[in-house]
Structure 1
Amino acid sequence: MGLISGILGFLFGNERNIIRETVEVFRENAESGAERGLQVRQQAVSQFGAEFHGAGKAPFDRAIDGLNRLPRPAMALGTLGLFVAAMVDPIWFSARMQGIALVPEPLWWLLGVIVSFYFGARHQAKVQELQREISATMMRTPQVLENLRALAAMRSDGVGVAKPGPDAALTADIIEPDENPALESWRRKRTG
């Protein structure tokens, strides 16, 4: 009995639990993890509240903070508006895009610098890449139109699509039924 109590005392005595401590090396203690998560959430909420509390800020500071939050939503909503405009009135949209095509490149660079002030220098490289992609897309337009014409010609629901034309062998193949052993067997069983 002394040996067993000695081993149990070694494992669980003195407010220790070697098994729990060993398991916590490989797996997080759920209770401790929940407490840490709660602290992180509480700190984030208090920081968020302090940022938007506005106490002690002058009206000018609050107005500038509001203006600083406008460019991203304005650009996102403006882009969505362009998609809607392209679907509602494609001719109007195309006319506007033709006007944009006439904007000189230095002005695009200036716009890129202004926008990169808000969104970082990475935006300028993305704008130039987007312009190249738009150019490549526009250059593919004739090929897309040709593909659409070819697909329309291949539709199987049109009248006369299955006409063999002057090919006599194809006409004979169409008129002559295929051999179907299962059908022939069924016919023999019904008649016999």
Structure 2
Amino acid sequence: MGLIEKLVSLVFGSGRNVIVETAEVFRENTEADARRRTDERAQALEQFATEFGVRERGRFDRIMDGMNRLPRPALAMGTLGLFIAAMADPVWFAARMQGVALVPEPLWWLLGVVVSFYFGARHQFKGQEFQRSIASTLARTPQVMANLNTLEGVTADFATAADRPAIMSAETDPNAALDEWRRGRRA
């Protein structure tokens, strides 16, 4: 017994498992890898939540956001208005377009740059806002999963509670047909 005990304590003694430790030299521990990946994801979500956190918006920010929403609808409605004006009063429209034809080419380039930068900056701002909303949604995922698990537990409790009266009534209510069937099965 002493030799076997010494051999077992050599391999598995003092809370160590030499076989597992040796195997982990050649193959990564899957459970530890999953734990590391989960920690990494949680840290990334936490970083996103702090980076893209929703800040309190003041009156000025709300006014500027409202002003930033005006140019695109104004451009679209203005273009439709030009088509309507061309059909309603072609002479008036032609006179206005003669004025536009006199605009020098560098001014058209400048207008193109301003509009491009405006819409490009707006696109970038909205893209960052979208990333913020995704980060906050992902940060709420663990709480949502916990709520779903709680709801599933409550649903299971209701299902077992709903089955109880039927089971109780089957045991306590005499059923002549069932009793006769049971007697026939025993015979």
Same fold (TM over 0.5): no
The interval holding the TM-score normalised by the smaller chain is 0.3 to 0.5
Q: TM-score, normalised by structure 2?
A: 0.34
TM-score, L = length of structure 1: 0.33
- Greater helix share, structure number: 2
Taking CA–CA contacts closer than 8 Å with sequence separation of 6 or more, which of the two structures ends up with the larger relative contact order? 2
